[in-house]
Amino acid sequence: MTTTVTTWYLEQTSPADLVVARPLSAEADVLVGRATVPSPEFSRFLYTSVGGDNAWTDRLSWTYAQWQEALGQPGTETWVAYEKGTPAGYIELAGQADGVVEISYFGLLPAFRGRRIGGRLLSFGVERAWDLAERWPQRVPTKRVWVHTCSKDGEHALGTYERRGFRIYRTEAEEEAEPVNPGPWPGAYEPATHA
């Protein structure tokens, strides 16, 4: 069985393009920190936990060495949002040639969605993309930040990027086979019911 997947490519070409999300309330107790030691185990946990219900499958077959190589590239950074010490989501930046930075992955674990954490994390991550060369002196200053999202991602993904000032520069549509149980386990996310 196949489905049509639409992919949107978005970019910012100046730090002034970023529309910063409103701060979280003081009670939110959300901190963002950089995972400065590349950890395939931790990054795979974030990838499967965030992408499990959004059909993220491209890295599921990666070996430990492939994870290590990707995470160890100069200019690659993983920033993690924690709520009360619990990982809530992450943004992975990949420095590319000529001052280009890709947001490779961004998202929240299902239990943390819909609480404005994503907008703040994305704002923070885009700011880190724009100042990436300050932490990686061999890099030239950032001239462009780009990201892609698709119709398999969360229903609010495209709008979240646009609200932060990203502009669409290309759209593609293609047929893809529907994955079977793509997440970290079958039925990885079942929305909690509240009494």
CATH of residue 15's domain is 3.40.630.30
Residue 163 maps to a domain: yes
Task: Kindly state whether residue 193 falls inside one of the protein's structural domains.
Answer: no
- pLDDT the model gives residue 54: 78
- Residue 50, token pair as written in the block: 């965030």
* pLDDT computed for residue 184 by the predictor: 54
Check pLDDT > 60 for residue 50: yes
Q: Which residues contact 155 (CB under 8 A, 6 or more apart)?
A: none
Residue 88: inside a domain: yes
pLDDT per residue as tens digits for the range 128-144: 999 999 999 999 999 99
Phi, psi of 136 (to 5 degrees): -130, 85
10 strand-pairing partners = 147, 168
Task: Answer yes or no: is 8 within a domain.
Answer: yes
- Integer CA distances (angstroms), 156 to 71, 111, 122, 146, 152, in order: 27, 15, 13, 18, 11
Average pLDDT value for residue range 25-47 = 90
Distance of CA 96 to the CA centre of its chain: 16
Distance CA 57, CA 1 (A): 17
Is residue 83 domain-resident?
A: yes
- Is residue 149 assigned to a domain? yes
Q: What is the tally of structural domains in the chain? A: 1
Host domain of residue 171: 2-20+28-177
Looking at the whole model, is its pTM more than 0.85?
A: yes
- Residue 183's pLDDT band (cuts 50, 70, 90): low
Q: Is residue 189 situated within a structural domain? A: no
- Domain membership of residue 144 (yes or no) is yes
145 touches 113 (CB < 8 A):
no
| Digit-coded pLDDT (tens) for 89-134 | 999 999 999 999 999 999 999 999 988 899 999 999 999 999 999 9
| Alpha-carbon radius of gyration of the chain | 17
